[in-house]
Structures are given as C-alpha cells and as structure tokens.
Amino acid sequence: MKILALESSAVAASVAVCENETLIAQSFQKTGLTHSQTLLPMLEGLLSSCGLSLNEIDLIGVSSGPGSFTGLRIGVSLAKGLAWAKEIPCAACSTLESMAWNAVAMEGEICTAMDARRGQIYNARFCSNGETICRLTPDRAIALEDLTRELQGTNKIQLLVGDGADLCYEHLQKSGVPARLAPPNLRLQSAWGVARVALELSRKGEAVSSSMLKPTYLRLSQAERERLEREQESSKENEGN
C-alpha cells in the first residue's frame, strides 16, 4: 500500500510517501513560511522526484490534530482536495500518536507534548516495545501541573517528544519525575509518523472518505473563547437589570 502523508500541525511542515512501513521519500521544512506557501509545492516536488502520481496512491494520511488551528485546516483541506477527485481513502491521524511513532525504536514510555499556551500542553502518553506503540491516555489538553501530579511516584523514565518537550522537561525535572528529551531529529512532528498511524488505521478498517475528514482541535479557538466570554458577560448584565 502506497501512503501519501501530510503534516502541518505546528511550525514545521512535512510530506512523505511510504510503502506500508517503509519510507520511500520525505520532505521537511521549518523555514518560517506559512503552510499555504510550502505544503503543496513540497508535495508536488516529492511526487515528481519519486516518479509517482496520485493515481498510484492508495491512502492519504493527514495530521488532524491537535495543533495549530490554521495549520490543521490547511493540511486537512489539502488532503480532502487531493482525495476527492480520485476517491482515495483518507486517514485522520492524531498528531500526538504520529509523534510517538517517531520514537518507536526507543523502548519505554513516551510522553508527547505540544505547547497549547494558557498554561496547558496538548498531551498523550504511550508505551513502546521497540516495534509498536500502545496508548496509555487519550489525546487531551492538560495543565503541566496536572500532568506532573499524574506522573509523580512513577519510576519509569518519560521520553519527551514534541515542540513542547523542553517546557515539559523543565517542569517534570523540578518535580522529581524522571524524564529525558528525545533526540532533536526525532522530537518534532514528521509526515513519516503520520503515514505510520494512517497504516494502522487502514488495517483496522478506520480509513474514511474525503467528505468525512475533519480536524480535531480539542479546545476552542481564541475567537470562539472570546465570543463565549462576551456572551457570558452580556448574560450577567441582563440578569442584573
């Protein structure tokens, strides 16, 4: 099975083509340019350099969240557009699970972390046996203090992966939780991890049509939070009158 994978959930963007578990080619950029500028040219260049066309792709995997609201929308929209014309099955891949696959060869517990701001991280915990991973928690937005309390008392070293790994490492170290950072080349999101999750979803029969593909945000956007706050303030004022 040939898998085309897209990753645009954070600052870096990447595209990969895989044959089942095997990486054929991958393009990665962290240049500061927007994903709307980089993702499609990267994809077109990668397919061209591999001598492939969309007609030869069996599955499109995309990082569906959590992550940057704008980045997720760009990636999911591109995946939907590519898949719709050719009726290619799609896989909505957890950003956090995809990151954990990057470190699958490093046996033990994997703690993924993306900076969600407002004192929180997007987080999920996994365990690796060196060949595959299993989930220990669902994807969630969690305060660093709450994650620390969850891990206190454990003697299992937490391998930290993600753009929030440094932030998480400092917090856990101060609280006495054993932790180490994944190597820099394995720490950030990559399309290969997305492809690996997509393969697992396909094997479970959980691939979907392009029309069913959508982002998973876990949390309201800033605009939605501000709207709710205004509505709550307005409601309180009306009650007082």
Using an 8 Å Cβ cutoff, are 136 and 89 in contact? no
Q: Return the CATH fold of 103-187.
A: Nucleotidyltransferase; domain 5 (3.30.420)
pLDDT at 199: 98
Right CATH for 2-96+189-220 from 3.40.190.10, 1.10.10.10, 3.30.420.40, 3.30.565.10: 3.30.420.40
Total-model pTM: 0.90
pLDDT at 204: 97
Q: Which helix (H) or strand (E) holds 192?
A: helix 191-203
Q: What is the pLDDT of residues 21-69, one digit of tens each?
A: 999 999 999 998 899 999 999 999 999 999 999 999 999 999 999 999 9
Assess whether pLDDT exceeds 90 at residue 238: no
Q: What is the pLDDT of residues 145-168, one digit of tens each?
A: 999 999 998 889 999 999 999 999
Q: What percent of the chain has pLDDT over 90?
A: 86
Assess whether pLDDT exceeds 90 at residue 224: no
pLDDT at 142: 96
Strand ranges, E, within the chain: 2-7, 13-19, 22-29, 59-65, 90-94, 108-117, 120-128, 133-135, 140-143, 158-161, 179-181
Using an 8 Å Cβ cutoff, are 222 and 116 in contact? no
- Domain boundaries in the chain? 2-96+189-220, 103-187
- Residues pairing with 15 in the sheet: 6, 27
- Residues pairing with 25 in the sheet: 17
Domains 2-96+189-220 and 103-187 equal at CATH topology level: yes
Q: What is the pLDDT of residues 59-101, one digit of tens each?
A: 999 999 999 999 999 999 999 999 998 999 999 999 999 999 9
- In this structure, of 47-51, 210-214, 218-222, the range with the lowest mean pLDDT score is 218-222
